[in-house]
Amino acid sequence: MILQLQRLAFLTVMLALGGFNGAQADDSFTVALNLGSVIGSEQACGLTYDRDPIERFITEHVKRSDMSFPSTLNMMTIGTKVAIKEMSESSLTAHCTQIRRIAKEYGFIK
């Protein structure tokens, strides 16, 4: 199961890096990938998020009728948790440094 999740996370990231032609900043898939990475990093980076700003972020960036967002977000959140377990200390430090900066920027943490 873990290997399957790792493969899924890898494929998801590769698809995102390969870019979907014309993907916008508020494209549901891109928002789910990015937010899933931030949420999936919460515990490993020693953070605690405030749920209200996350809800506001989703309300602002995801269409109300978007049925694919929850499953994509879930897949990326789980994939991030799996990927973090394989990171070196240096990689995790770099990862968490930027996650912390993002979380502060969007008001997810105080």
pLDDT tens-digit readout, 24-62:
456 899 999 999 999 999 999 999 999 999 999 999 999
Answer yes or no: is pLDDT of 23 > 90.
no
pLDDT number for residue 5: 55
Residue 110: pLDDT band with limits 50, 70, 90:
confident
pTM here is 0.78
Average pLDDT for residues 92-101, to the nearest whole number?
98
3-state secondary structure 35-61: HHHHHHCCCCCCCCCCHHHHHHHHHHH
pLDDT number for residue 18: 47
User: pLDDT by residue (tens digit) across 59-80?
Assistant: 999 999 999 999 999 999 999 9
CA 82 to chain centre: 12
Tracing tokens 């995790």 back to the chain, one arrives at 92
Cα dist from 33 to 9, 27, 49, whole Å: 10, 10, 18
Answer yes or no: is pLDDT of 100 > 60.
yes
Q: How far apart are CA 22 and CA 19, in angstroms?
A: 8
